[in-house]
Amino acid sequence: MAQKRAAAMARRLQQRLLSNRMHLRYSDYLTAVATASMGLLEAGEFLGEPVSLASDAWTIDRISGPDVSDKSTVLSFAHIAANAYVDPPHGGEWTDIGGGFNYTEDFGWERDGLRGHVFADTENKTVIIGLKGTSLPYFDDGETSNNDILNDNLFGSCCCGQGGQYAWRRVCDCQTSTDTCNSSCLMTSLWKKSNYYHAARHLYHNITAIYPDADVWLTGHSLGGVVSSLLGLTYGLPTITFEAFPDALAARRLGLPTPPGYRVGDVEKHYTGIYHFGHTADPVYMGHCNSFNSPCTIAGYAFQSKCHTGHNSV
């Protein structure tokens, strides 16, 4: 009964969006998308999994997005993802993007949380958000590394770093016995502590307020790629990530909206607009960096998830 109520609530919000979309300005449509997504997320949080909607509750739209078949485009996104680690802009190892995109904003650098930069074209018609990934404590001077590993182990492990390798950093207390994790506790921890995902949603709302008529694209490396992917799946935004650890486990637990007939982690991943770039020699990207003597484990990171959302490009 509870599942039916949650699904009905999400369905009403989605249908309201679809019935109104032809009468809205683009900026108002973005607000409607956010409202419908919020309803789906609330229902997903209640259920502990994505809400299953009928196929007629969805439409397939052709939207503007980066050409992932073009090498120079992918490299530009890689530069944006790399620049997300650099402050101040245009200093240090900063790389100018070119291609008509210029640095316009930054965010998070005054705090120890989500950080990155915003780029826009000359007409403010397309905005690209680049999110910083994990900073290792040995090179970070303690700036974001503690919050980074908190989010890494919330998103990437089966039970917040519990029940596995001794060196993994535990970021919740949800293990009830050997190989058993309390799912309710885990969901609560994920929603309350995964501040990077929630911070990214607030960031997206702020960006769309500043650029109400712009298309928004996302990119990031490592943890920044995971958060970009989760945000892209939430709002249907084109996303390119680099060397991101598998994110399907986190997406499912967050109850992110999924098209009809699609389950997070499926091999066939059509219509997500998300592209993950990596290589087979990278154990983090491949989901293999979790043995007792792996560098991830030694550093405290618990990467147990195996599947990516979206398309994999290796």
CA 105/CA 15 separation, integer angstroms = 35
Q: What are the structure tokens assigned to 71, written together?
A: 């090498």
Is 222 one of the annotated active-site residues of the chain? Answer: yes
Kindly report the length of the chain.
Answer: 314
CA 78/CA 100 separation, integer angstroms = 16
CB 199 within 8 A of CB 183: no
> Of the listed 76, 145, 157, 222, which one is catalytic?
222
- Cβ-proximal residues to 175 (8 Å cutoff; 6+ apart), any chain: 159, 162, 163, 181, 182
Amino acid at 167: A
Q: What are phi and psi of 126, to 5 degrees?
A: -135, 130
- Measured between alpha carbons, how far is residue 162 from residues 134, 287, 304 in Å? 20, 17, 11
What distance separates the 2 farthest-apart alpha carbons in the chain? 58
Catalytic residue set: 222
